[in-house]
Structure 1
Amino acid sequence: MLDIGFWLLYITTPIITIILLRAAGERITKISIVNVTVIALIMFSILGTFPLFYFLDEYRYSIGVNDQTIVLKVLFYSSINIFVFILGVIFTRKVFGIRPIEFDSSEIKMLSQIQWLALITIFFLCVIVLLLYLQQIDRVAIFITFTESISDAKAARSDMGNSFAGKYHWYKLFMHDIGKLVTFSVYAHWLITKNRLALIGFISSLIYSLFVAIMATEKGPAAWLLIGLFMVYFLVNRNGSIPFRKIVPFILFLLGGLILGYIFFMGSDNVFSAIGAIFSRAFSGSISPAYYYLEFFPAHQEFLLGRTFPNPGGILPYEPYLYTIEVMNWKFPYHLELGIVGTMPTVFWGEAYANFGVAGIPIIAFIMGCIVSIVSYVVSKLEINPLSIGFYVWLILMFKNLANTGFSGYFYNVYILFVSMLVLGVLAIRGYLRVRRKRSHRIV
């Protein structure tokens, strides 16, 4: 019976998802915040349940993912999460008529000279922040990989992020987020103008962003940077539509880069072991923490009832519960002895469950669907130019993280607030802000 239930959900979830996306007005080959977020949810919260259910991932099995009933629950909650998320999108579009304006490459405007100069100035500011950050750390993980051991590199990576002695989020804002925004924007500018100065700016920003992405020996950030550039290209040249024949070679290119990363940075012995590690980390690894959430709450920790929500400036009478760290420490207590501050994030329904139990999953999914739909509409009103294209892709990559992180961070998100204000400031620096008008009822 468990097998029947698993396969019924596993096969029908993508089919129902496509039907619901069409009802929402989405086209699966069109780049949009909703589409990419849903695709990420399918990839990182559905696909990985297959090797978990049949115990094909030996590593996950060895660390405790060994109960098919719990895996089936994970799949069921993931499916409900996706369905209700899309229903939230449909609700805002059908009931309130909040429909994004279709992206049209023919409407792309050039950046003014002062906007281009502002973009270059922001890039130099990012470089300065990176240099200041490097002064604050003793070891850079990517260099440690080549001079010492893999385990030493992992400890260095922890020091560069989770256990960084300082306000890491401000460094991350400039190094990662604003840096990627600049790279995407300058790339779009070069695709449009094809001039030498734009090419130099793009190459410089790309080298910067690639180094920032891999300096902690993380493979995902570099992959998503390249995926972002891939989306920028098709937004500029194909109205955001990606032919299927272009996707396969790009995926193979990404896979090749990840294989090299796992061999050099993670100690994989050969190509085949690297491929196994990649698929384990990308698919099983992103959803397996949800298995531990179902074990941890409420058996070892009562439901949190909102205690994971951010508390800006400490104005509320509670200290946010760092649930991803607490679950990690419960499952792998030896990390504390090694001095490694680890986290165990998963798809956003995991945080909903940790706070409110099973009932919280569809409620939060519906709310997040509404939020993503509204954001998609607001961004579609911006004038189309290289900066707004870069901002659009950056937002897509931010919201696709719902597939492997919590939801409450989106209620008060310093990165989204700051980057949005920065983009609006640069767009308005010429003295006015253009707003697009809806031409049709088609949806991006």
Structure 2
Amino acid sequence: MFYIVIWLIVAVISFILFKKSAGTMTLLKPNILSIVFYYSLFISSFIGSLLIALNIDKHYMIDLLADDRFRTIGFFAICFVMIMLPLSMLFVTKLIGFNPEKEFNDYINAPVQIENDKMTYLIFVGFTGLSCLSILYTVYHLHSIPILELLRGSSNLAELRIDAARNFGGNTLIRNIFAIGLTPLLSMITFIYSYKTRQLRWILLFFITTGGAVFIQIYDLAKGPIFFYLLMFILLLLYLNIIKLNWRRIAILGGAGIAAIVVMYVFIQGVEDIDQFFDYNRGPIGRLILTQIAGFYFHLELFTDRMPLLFGQSLPSSITGLYDIEQVRSARLAMEVYFPTRVEEGTAGVLNTLFAGEAFANFGYIGMIIGTVYVGVFIQLVYIAFLRIPKNPLFIALFIYFTVNIPRVVIGGFTDFLLNILWIALIIILTSPFIVLKVYRLFIRRRKELDSNIG
């Protein structure tokens, strides 16, 4: 009863703090902060923490903990994150003078600023060609394409998925930035231009980029990416005021999502026991509420009792390389310690979990405290920045991209918030041509003004 009372109090306080920082927490108007709360924290972390603290999880991963005291330690650590993360966001809100409810509603209702000139179109044609070539490059450097092997009836899909992710033969930066990262963004941008201009040239670009985006989400049989891509388009339609969500539509979308998950588990995972889909500790439900947060408990135990703290070793390689330190991701170490057989068989990757786990692995409880504050400030600044910059196709797409991907990183690791090469590269790549074009046009205009004054 004690844990239940604490859990309920923390849930209410966390929700209130998130609402004060986001402006709205309704599912009918999703935003970065509400998705972080509902998906990353409440569903993927907080529900499981209560089951684990009450020792009723009956989960195969949690059973691997050698010391049950980490059930309690982990529970209170997650409670801390639930409070401190939105508290940091609220601090930024008050400091900057941000009015979240008003500014979010103003953004949703604001018209889209469209520049439909020849140079803009040619720039996106170039981007489309680059993304298509990158997808072909990705396919060329795969030992096998898991989605094709599924259609052929292959029985070793789990190994093929890991092989596609960890044994990619090409340059991972090209794959991650130009194929996986850039293509979905282009599909959203070209959709906006297609919808606003109704021009065939933009419609063709939209079909090309969308086809590439769908393929790159499903080629390795990962279940999550395609759902997050579809979520991006739902948000895009909302932010363009094309559709409005209601509870009936949410129920339909939820039902369709559940049906798709069941199909994926049957054909990709080979699950035939229907009971697994309804048990809270197995199948898709168990994966959401227990498997995702189990890695956090492993991090606490591993870097308290079994291994020394990493002290920055899992920071991005661009940082560790400056000090001649080999990068070691804590999520990989946890997988090697707790599931050595799977690692040897090549069927296991990393144990990604709540960002606070990696922060703890590097700098202990101090790292967890400072890391939580940092992540809260980071997310809130991103949220405020996108609500205040011009609402054009490029920035709308980037806003939605971060709205969906930041919550994924919250349960993926801490160091990606320190230096995320993918995020930085995408922003630079997409904005650089327009910055150069704007500077060039400004130079030409100033030169003409100067010539007319002289004349």
Matched residues in 2 for 1:119 and 1:94: separation? 39
Aligned counterparts, 1:293-332, within 5 A: 293-312=299-318, 314-332=321-339
Which is further off, 261-270 or 26-35?
Answer: 26-35
Other structure's SS at 1:431 match: helix
Aligned counterparts, 1:197-346, within 5 A: 197-237=201-241, 242-269=245-272, 272-274=275-277, 276-312=282-318, 314-340=321-347, 342-346=349-353
Matched residues in 1 for 2:25 and 2:145: separation? 40
* Per-residue deviation, 1:51: 4.8
Q: Provide closer, same or farther for how the CA distance between residues 25 and 32 of structure 1 changes in structure 2, counting only shifts above 3 A.
A: closer
Q: Provide closer, same or farther for how the CA distance between residues 424 and 321 of structure 1 changes in structure 2, counting only shifts above 3 A.
A: same
> 1:353, 1:361 within 8 Å by CA — same for their partners in 2?
yes
1:172 and 2:171 matched: no
Matched residues in 2 for 1:222 and 1:210: separation? 7
Residue number in structure 2 paired with 1:436 = none
Residue number in structure 2 paired with 1:37 = 36
Q: Provide closer, same or farther for how the CA distance between residues 115 and 76 of structure 1 changes in structure 2, counting only shifts above 3 A.
A: farther
> 2:158, 2:269 within 8 Å by CA — same for their partners in 1?
no
Q: Deviations over 1:376-430 (max 9, x none)?
A: 2222332112221111011112211233111212211111111111232254465
Residue number in structure 1 paired with 2:389 = 382
> 1:262, 1:274 within 8 Å by CA — same for their partners in 2?
no
* Per-residue deviation, 1:43: 2.0
Q: Provide closer, same or farther for how the CA distance between residues 238 and 68 of structure 1 changes in structure 2, counting only shifts above 3 A.
A: farther
> 1:6, 1:72 within 8 Å by CA — same for their partners in 2?
no
Other structure's SS at 2:301 match: helix
Matched residues in 1 for 2:170 and 2:434: separation? 32
Matched residues in 2 for 1:179 and 1:376: separation? 23
* Per-residue deviation, 1:132: 1.3
> 1:140, 1:160 within 8 Å by CA — same for their partners in 2?
yes
Q: 1:144 aligns with which of 138, 145, 149?
A: 149
Q: Provide closer, same or farther for how the CA distance between residues 99 and 178 of structure 1 changes in structure 2, counting only shifts above 3 A.
A: farther
Give me the TM-score of the superposition, normalised by structure 1.
0.87
> 1:188, 1:389 within 8 Å by CA — same for their partners in 2?
no
* Per-residue deviation, 1:81: 0.9
AA at the equivalent of 1:252: G
> 2:310, 2:362 within 8 Å by CA — same for their partners in 1?
yes
AA at the equivalent of 2:138: Y
- Please list every run of 5 or more consecutive structure 2 residues that lacks an aligned counterpart in the other structure: 441-455
Other structure's SS at 1:357 match: helix
Matched residues in 2 for 1:365 and 1:22: separation? 18
Between 1 and 2, higher relative CO (CA 8 Å, sep ≥ 6) is seen in 1
Matched residues in 1 for 2:35 and 2:401: separation? 12
Q: 1:129 aligns with which of 121, 134, 138?
A: 134
Give me the TM-score of the superposition, normalised by structure 2.
0.85
Q: 1:27 aligns with which of 24, 28, 32?
A: 24
Other structure's SS at 1:207 match: helix
By percentage of residues, which structure has more helix? Answer: 2
AA at the equivalent of 2:150: T
Residue number in structure 1 paired with 2:449 = none
Larger Rg: 2
Q: Deviations over 1:125-180 (max 9, x none)?
A: 11111111211122112222343544x22222222112324432331111111111
Q: Provide closer, same or farther for how the CA distance between residues 278 and 111 of structure 1 changes in structure 2, counting only shifts above 3 A.
A: farther
> 1:55, 1:61 within 8 Å by CA — same for their partners in 2?
no
Q: RMSD of the alignment, in Å? A: 2.7
Which is further off, 166-175 or 195-204?
Answer: 195-204
Which is further off, 104-113 or 393-402?
Answer: 104-113
> 2:48, 2:57 within 8 Å by CA — same for their partners in 1?
no
Which is further off, 137-146 or 273-282?
Answer: 273-282
Q: Provide closer, same or farther for how the CA distance between residues 318 and 352 of structure 1 changes in structure 2, counting only shifts above 3 A.
A: same
Q: Deviations over 1:225-255 (max 9, x none)?
A: 111111111111179x754443222222211
AA at the equivalent of 1:207: G
AA at the equivalent of 2:97: G
> 2:316, 2:415 within 8 Å by CA — same for their partners in 1?
yes
1:70 and 2:70 matched: yes
Residue number in structure 2 paired with 1:414 = 421
Matched residues in 1 for 2:55 and 2:201: separation? 53
AA at the equivalent of 1:18: F
Other structure's SS at 1:309 match: coil
> 2:313, 2:325 within 8 Å by CA — same for their partners in 1?
yes
Other structure's SS at 1:298 match: helix
Matched residues in 2 for 1:45 and 1:162: separation? 26
* Per-residue deviation, 1:201: 3.4
Which is further off, 418-427 or 317-326?
Answer: 418-427
Matched residues in 1 for 2:136 and 2:356: separation? 37
> 2:128, 2:205 within 8 Å by CA — same for their partners in 1?
no
Matched residues in 2 for 1:50 and 1:201: separation? 48
AA at the equivalent of 2:71: V
AA at the equivalent of 1:187: F
Which is further off, 55-64 or 251-260?
Answer: 55-64
Which is further off, 104-113 or 131-140?
Answer: 104-113
